[in-house]
Each structure stands twice: as C-alpha cells, then as structure tokens.
C-alpha cells in the first residue's frame, strides 16, 4: 500500500517566492543573527508569519567543501598523535604518532610512545625524512613541542622581531621545511580520519595477535603499515619526477635538541660532561661557547664551530629525548680559540695555560684521553661523518620531494 501524498509537496510548505524573499532578507538584512532574532525581526518588521524552524532551515550553511589534495607526493605531510586504549586492558596506555602524505594518503612512520612528546615526533621525522625524503611543508597541531604558543618575548626576540623556534621548529627551519599550524582538528581532517580507521583496524589486529606490550606493538607496525598502504593509498594527481638524491648529516637531521654553554660546563644537559684541555696545534677552547647536540640514540656531540670536538656515549637504550633549554637563534658568534702554551719551566704533567691567565687544573678521570685524540678516533671510525639519509636534491617544484 502506498500513501496518496507520496511524491506531492506538503500543503504546509511555504510558497517559493516567500522562501526566496526570506532567504534574501536573512542574508542581506540580518546576517550573523541566531535563529530567534531574525524570526522576531521578520514578524515585527516585515509582517511575515514564519516559525523558528523555517528560519533555521534557511540559515543552515551549506556543507563544507573539502580541501583538494596536493597534486604531487611530498607537497604536504600531516602529522598528529592519537592517545587511545590501543591494548585495551592487556597493556599500558600508549599514544600512536604518525604522518600521512596528503596527495596519496600514504601512511608514513607510525610509532607507539607512552605519551605525545619530543622524542616521539623526532623519531617520526627521522623515519619520514630518512625513508621518503624531505616534504615541502608539514601540517600539524599548535603543540608547544612543534611551535611556540606562549606570549613570552625576551628582549633578544623583540629586537629580532620573532620568537625563537622550538627544538623541532629549528630543525625544520634548517632543513627548509615549512610548518603550517592547524587551528582546529577539522583543518587537518585527513590525519584525523586516519585515526578513526586505525582505532578500529589496528586495535583489532593487536587484540587478535594478543599483543600486550609497547615493544611488541612497535614490532608489528611494519607488517600493518604494508597492508594498510596496499589497501588505502591512492595514486597522486601528478606522478613524482625522478631526480638526484643528497645526504643529510647528523648535524641537521638526527639532532633534535641543542643548547649552548661554555666549554667548561661539566653537565650542560644533565649528564656527566667532558672537559677540553686542548686541541690540535695547541688550541684551547676554554671560555668559548660550544653547541651541544643531543641525538636520538642518546649520544651528545660537542661542536665549538663546524667540527665535532668531542662526544659522550649514550646513557642506555632507555634514553628519552627531552628539551633541555630554549635554543638560541641565531647562534652568537663564538670567540676564536686561544692558543695554549705550556710553561717550559714547569714539570711534566703541569696544566696548560692560555693567554695571560691560568686555566684551572682539571684532574684526569681514570683513563680519559685528550680531546684531540678522541676526535681523531671518531674520524677514523667514521663516527662524525655525514649519515646518508635519502632526500631529493635541488627540488624546486612540489613534485620533486618525497
């Protein structure tokens, strides 16, 4: 049985001319008002008997239009973190950090961490830049790990006209990668929809495999990543063009936190420090400002200028990268190293003195060696040589990255 009114307009439907007139008045005469206010105005000023529901239907904005995808892979990469009960009651609470290519929906470098922090984003960036190359821009939250969202300006920042970037922000600037701040979750909807899929599929896969630890979940991610990209990726509008690739040294890619301190600071990053007693050709770095670069694996490199002066080993596999202090940008010029000389009248083993004043006598600690010998061994073993991460070279168009 079919109703007789099926396919017929409602008898209570407003006349088409009246509907157009109401819509025009709402747009032109009463823009920005709520539902009740224009209803009262239409009744009082224009003598139009209309209900609040009809006004709300006329005021309803059209559905949002999605931002079109980037034309080529690597033009834009969206990053985010998703705290969720990935292991349910079987294991600890975790946060999944990851990135997605805007042009092809390719899932990039997912990684589980206990919380959303500096170390997790540094791991994601290192994997993305090392395996896929450098994107033109990154789209993410206004998280204080990625961008400065405070209102504090130092005197140096006021004179410079801009706030100093965060540690990761400085890293992106040195690599020539732009960062776009999202002011709402809907602005980066592609990565937000990614979490909806992963919270369903990935959580179920972890449950079926009875994974109950963070380490086991990270070990399973490469298998899930290959299956996900096979099912859900799409080809970009413009295929990537071939091009040469260049390497990035650890000084600009793997380093996440940097701090500047005098060369005689014993523990500038909360770890046991090293003291320099002289370098090649008798140069002393006492009193000079050096840059401390802390790597993802926990190693600490000391850079007085362009060369690595010394290194400290990693404290262990449980090392977590944390911001030590606000990075200085631009770095102030360091003083030229003063030539050290030894008092010939002094007995062997006497301390080296620099300039007119005497440098303090730093006692040897066990089997410690002079800094220049440590540096020579590092160069011999290739410890300070550039690490060849795969990136495109000379990319000037949006299809020559990633």
pLDDT, average across residues 57-84: 82
Residue 76 — pLDDT band, cuts 50, 70, 90?
very high
Residue 210 pLDDT > 90, yes or no?
yes
- The number of angstroms, rounded, from the C-alpha of 365 to the middle of its chain's C-alpha atoms is 39
CA atoms within 13 A on the CB side of 332: 10
At 90 the three-state DSSP class reads coil
What is the average per-residue pLDDT within 195-216? 94
Q: Say what the pLDDT of residue 379 is.
A: 41
- pLDDT of 287-332, one tens digit each? 777 788 888 888 888 887 777 888 888 888 888 888 766 555 455 5
Phi, psi of 378 (to 5 degrees): -65, -40
The three-class DSSP label of residue 303 is strand
Q: Residue 91: how many CB atoms within 10 A of its CB?
A: 16
- In this prediction, residue 218 carries a pLDDT of 96
- Report yes or no: 311 and 302 within 8 Å, Cβ to Cβ: yes
For residue 255, pLDDT over 90 is answered with: no
Average pLDDT of 4-20? Answer: 82
Query: Which segment of 42-46, 181-185, 209-213, 385-389 scores lowest on mean pLDDT?
Result: 385-389
**Distance (Å) of CA 79 to CA 160, 188, 192, 328:** 29, 9, 10, 25
Where would I find the H helices in 147-188? 155-160, 167-174
Note the Cα 359 to chain centre separation in Å. Answer: 42
Q: What percent of the chain is modeled with pLDDT above 90? A: 27
Query: Residue length, the chain?
Result: 402
Q: How far is CA 167 from CA 143, 285, 308, in A?
A: 12, 25, 20
Residue 57 structure tokens = 């239907």
Q: How far apart are CA 228 and CA 194, in angstroms?
A: 11
pLDDT digits 0-9 by tens, 268-288 = 445 545 555 455 556 677 777
Q: Which two tokens stand for residue 368?
A: 């410690």
User: Residue 175 in contact with residue 129, Cβ under 8 Å?
Assistant: yes
* pTM assigned to the model: 0.62
Distance CA 77, CA 101 (A): 5
**What was the pLDDT predicted at 62?**
58
How much is the pLDDT for 324?
Answer: 66
Cross-strand pairs, 293: 258, 301
pLDDT the model gives residue 225: 95
Q: Could you read off the pLDDT of 226-248 as tens digits, one per residue?
A: 999 999 999 998 876 544 333 33
Whether the pLDDT of residue 264 is over 60: the answer is no
Task: Judge whether 74 and 101 are in contact, CB under 8 Å.
Answer: yes
Q: What is the mean pLDDT of the chain?
A: 74
Specify whether the backbone of 308 is left (phi greater than 0), alpha (psi in -120 to 50) or beta.
beta
Query: Rounded to whole angstroms, what are the CA distances from 260 to 283, 291, 328, 334?
Result: 20, 5, 7, 10
**Are 84 and 261 contacting, i.e. CB atoms less than 8 angstroms apart?**
no
Predicted confidence (pLDDT) per residue in 89-108, tens digit: 999 999 999 999 999 999 99
Q: What is the pLDDT of residue 229?
A: 95
Cα–Cα dist 329/321, whole Å:
20
DSSP symbol at 188: G
pLDDT tens-digit readout, 329-384: 455 555 555 554 445 555 555 554 444 444 333 333 333 333 333 333 434 444 43
Residues in Cβ contact with 310 at an 8 Å cutoff, skipping those fewer than 6 apart: 274, 276, 301, 302, 371, 374, 375
pLDDT band, very low/low/confident/very high, at 258 (cuts 50, 70, 90):
low
Low-confidence winner among 179-183, 193-197, 274-278 (lowest mean pLDDT): 274-278
Question: Which domains are seen in the chain, by residue range?
Answer: 16-59 (no CATH), 77-244 (3.30.420.10), 255-345+366-386 (no CATH)
Q: What is the pLDDT of residue 8?
A: 83
Higher-confidence residue of 400 and 261: namely 261
Give the gyration radius of the chain's Cα atoms. 30
Backbone CA torsion sign across 174, 257, 112, 245: positive
Instruction: Return the pLDDT at 349.
Output: 54
**Largest Cα–Cα distance of the chain, in whole Å?**
118
Quickly tell me which residue has 């179920």 as its tokens: 204
Q: Tell me: the pLDDT tens digits for 141-167?
A: 988 888 888 888 888 888 888 888 888
- Residue 104's closest CA among 221, 238, 226? 238
């Amino acid at each position: 049985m079919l109703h007789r009114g099926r396919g017929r307009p409602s008898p209570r439907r407003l006349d088409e001319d009246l509907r157009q007139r109401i819509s025009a008045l709402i747009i032109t005469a009463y823009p920005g008002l709520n539902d009740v206010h224009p209803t009262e105005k239409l009744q009082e000023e224009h003598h139009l008997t209309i209900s609040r529901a009809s006004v709300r239907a006329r005021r309803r904005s059209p559905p949002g239009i999605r931002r079109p995808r980037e034309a080529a892979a690597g033009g834009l990469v969206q990053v985010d973190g998703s705290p969720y009960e990935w292991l349910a009651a079987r294991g600890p609470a975790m946060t999944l950090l990851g990135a997605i290519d805007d042009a092809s929906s390719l899932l990039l470098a997912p990684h589980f961490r206990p919380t959303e922090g500096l170390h997790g984003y540094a791991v994601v960036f290192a994997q993305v830049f090392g395996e896929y190359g450098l994107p033109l821009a990154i789209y993410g939250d206004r998280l204080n790990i990625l961008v400065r969202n405070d209102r504090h300006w130092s005197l140096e920042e006021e004179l410079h006209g801009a706030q100093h970037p965060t540690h990761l922000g400085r890293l992106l600037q040195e690599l020539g990668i732009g960062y776009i701040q999202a002011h709402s979750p809907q602005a980066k909807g592609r990565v937000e929809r990614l979490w909806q899929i992963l919270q369903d599929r990935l959580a179920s896969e972890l449950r079926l495999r009875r994974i109950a630890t963070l380490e086991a979940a990270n070990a399973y991610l490469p298998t899930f990543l290959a299956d996900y990209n096979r099912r859900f990726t799409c080809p970009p509008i413009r295929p990537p063009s071939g091009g040469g690739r260049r390497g990035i040294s650890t000084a600009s890619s793997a380093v996440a936190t940097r701090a500047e301190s005098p060369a005689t600071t014993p523990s500038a990053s909360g770890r046991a420090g090293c003291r320099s007693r002289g370098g090649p050709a008798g140069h002393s770095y006492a009193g000079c400002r050096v840059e401390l670069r802390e790597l993802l694996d926990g190693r600490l490199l000391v850079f007085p200028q362009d060369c690595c002066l010394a290194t400290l080993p990693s404290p262990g596999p449980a090392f977590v990268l944390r911001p030590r202090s606000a990075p200085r940008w631009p770095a102030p010029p360091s003083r030229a190293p003063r030539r050290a000389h030894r008092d010939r009248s002094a007995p062997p083993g006497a301390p080296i003195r620099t300039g007119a004043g005497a440098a303090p006598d730093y006692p040897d600690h066990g089997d410690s060696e002079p800094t220049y010998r440590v540096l020579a061994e590092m160069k011999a073993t290739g410890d300070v040589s550039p690490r060849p991460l795969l990136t495109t070279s000379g990319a000037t168009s949006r299809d020559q990255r990633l």
